Chain A
Amino acid sequence: MEATNTESLEWLFDEHESADELLVDHKMDISASVFKRMEELGISKSGLAKRMGVDNAVVTRIISGKQNITLKTIAKLEEALNFKLDSGFKYYELSAHVGMATMTSPYVNDHPKNAQGIAAKLDQRSITRCYSFPNGELVAA
C-alpha cells in the first residue's frame, strides 16, 4: 500500500550498525524466517523442538530473538524445516512467471537487477519456484 508520493526512508538502512546492533538484527531476521517457514509447514514450536531434538524453550528463545544461535543450531533449523538460512539469515523465495522472475521476498526486491539473470536461469532449467543464494546456486523449491 505504498503511495506514489511517499517519502522513502530506505536510506536509513545504510546507516552504520555496531556489532551489537547487527547481532540483534540477525537474531530477529532468523526469528522471522523460522516463524514464516513454520507457518508454511504448519509446524508448532513444540513440533519444531521435537524435530530439532531440543527443548521447547530453545525454540521459544529463537523466535523471541533471545537465543545466541550457534551454527549447529542453524544447521538443525535448516534440517528440521527443510530450508536454507545461509543467505544473510534471510528467507528468499522466488517464482518465475513468463520468463520474468517475480521476487516475492522484499529482501530480494531490494536488488531488482538480480531478477533478469535469475529468470533466465529458471527458464533454462524449467524451474518455477526456487531458492536463490548469493553464489548463484538455485535450488528448486
Chain B
Amino acid sequence: MREDYRIVPFGLGGVSMLVLTKVGSEPFIKELCTNGKTRGDASLIARSVKRLLISGQEWGFQSGGLKGPLHGVRGEIALYEVRCAKKRTVLRLMTYLHNDSERTPVFLFEFKGHQASESIGGIPPADLRRGEDLAVIARQLMKAKGEQQ
C-alpha cells in the first residue's frame, strides 16, 4: 500500500467528499480555498459534489455532471470526470469510483479540459495518465480501508 498518499474526508453537511492527497501536501480543494481568486471555484465544487453525492450517480450521468468511464484509460480502472457547471464553462474533477456497493467516489484533482491538441475526449493525455496512476493508488487505499472495517 502506498504510504505517501492518504484519503482525506471533507464534510459537506451530511455527506463526505473523499479527496486523495499526497502526504505533506494540501488537498486540491483546500488549495482552492486558500486562494481568494479560486475560492469561488472551491465553493462551486463543494455545492456540485454535495448535489451529486445526495442525488446519486444515475442522476449524475443523466444530468451530465458525471461522465465516464473515460476513454483511453489503460487497464480496468474506473476513472470518471465530474463536471461542475458554470455559466459558460465547467470545472472538471478527475474522479475514481471505488468498486464497493455505493461506488464511492474519490476525487483526485481538478484539471482543465480541451487544453491540448491531442486531447482524448477533451482531456489532455498527461492528465489522463496522472489520473490513471492516482486512481490505482486510491483503489489500494480504499481497499485497505475496507479491509480494516
Contacts and interface: CB of A to CB of B under 8 A. Distances in A.
A43 B63 CA distance: 16
B85 A10 contact: no
B134 interface: no
Interface in A1-27: 1-3, 6-10, 12-13, 15-17, 20-21, 23-25
A35 B9 contact: no
Contact of A12 (B9, B46, B64, B65): B46
B86 A106 contact: no
Kindly name the residue among B16, B39, B63, B85 whose own CB sees the greatest number of chain A CB atoms within 10 A.
B63
Interface stretch (B51-59, B70-78, B114-122, B123-131): B51-59
Interface residues of B, number: 34
B11 interface: yes
Interface of B: 8-17, 29, 33, 39-40, 42-44, 46-48, 50-51, 54-55, 58-59, 62-65, 85-87, 104
User: Which 4 pairs of residues, A with B, have the shortest CB-CB distance?
Assistant: A15-B43, A8-B11, A32-B55, A20-B87
Interface of A: 1-3, 6-10, 12-13, 15-17, 20-21, 23-25, 28-29, 31-32, 35-36, 39, 63-65, 106, 109-110
